[in-house]
Amino acid sequence: MRKFQNFLVVAAIIAAVVLVGILLGWWGSRGRQVNTQQITEVPVPPPPGEHNPPVTVPDRGRPLPPEPITRQSQPDFTATATNLITDWEDKIDEILTSDGEDSDKTKKMIEMFPRLPEDGQAEVAQHLSNLVADENYAPLGKFLKDPKLPEAVLDVLLADLLNRPNSVKLPLLLDVAREPQHAKATEAKDLLELFLEEDYGTDWPKWQAKMEEWLKENPD
């Protein structure tokens, strides 16, 4: 009887050991499954070039041609760049210091005037203002009516005109005032209004009639 009890105890111990071994094996297999599942859940990128769309690389081997450079057109003055007198200061000094008559000096300066740059035209205009007599004013009047001349030159000519007799002054002012493209048109019209004490706007025949009437009443 005692041997049978010992046998049961040994059998119970063996069964317990086997049960523990089964549990440990089951737990270990579960842990491996979990680790395997975690590893397999990590996304694996596809091989390069298999599913990715092709990348287009711009062609940088040939540079683009440069954009053309546009230059602003220069004002069209009476003097052009092709025939300008570059040593105009020496030319003017030579004329002024010569032994010729004033009429000869003015003639030479009037001839060279269109070929001078702006500074030269302004200086010659000043000399002509001092040398040209009232009865010979026609060439200066022609310059004053030219709307293409620089404004600095026109300023000199207009200032000289205001020192001329009324018979020379008012007709030139009217000619300048009726030219809308002239830089001194507004100033000339204001001067006419000051002399004639009237404002006819752009009714130039009325301006003409009033000027002739005023000149009769205000002789030189």
128 shares its domain with 212? yes
When mean pLDDT is compared over 56-65, 81-90, 197-206, the highest value belongs to 197-206
Residue 198 tokens, joined: 């009237």
- Type of residue at 129: S
pLDDT digits (tens, 9 = 90+) for 21-52: 565 555 555 554 444 444 444 454 555 444 45
Residue 70 covered by a domain:
no
Residue 51 covered by a domain:
no
203 shares its domain with 97? yes
Q: What is the mean pLDDT of the chain?
A: 78
- Determine the angle formed by the axes of helices 118-131 and 88-96, rounding to 10 degrees: 10
32 shares its domain with 108? no
More confident residue, 22 or 202: 202
31 shares its domain with 94? no
Determine the pLDDT at residue 197.
95
Report how many domains make up the chain. Answer: 2
pLDDT digits (tens, 9 = 90+) for 77-121: 444 556 889 899 999 999 999 988 999 999 999 999 999 999 999
Considering the entire predicted model, what is its pTM?
0.63
Residue 141 covered by a domain:
yes
- Kind and range of the H or E run holding 169: helix 166-177
Angstrom distance (rounded) from CA 48 to CA 124:
83
195 shares its domain with 134? yes
9 shares its domain with 95? no
Domain assignment of residue 202, given as a range: 88-217
Residue 50 covered by a domain:
no
Residue 52 covered by a domain:
no
- Which residues contact residue 154 at a Cβ distance below 8 angstroms, ignoring those fewer than 6 apart? 144, 182, 183, 184
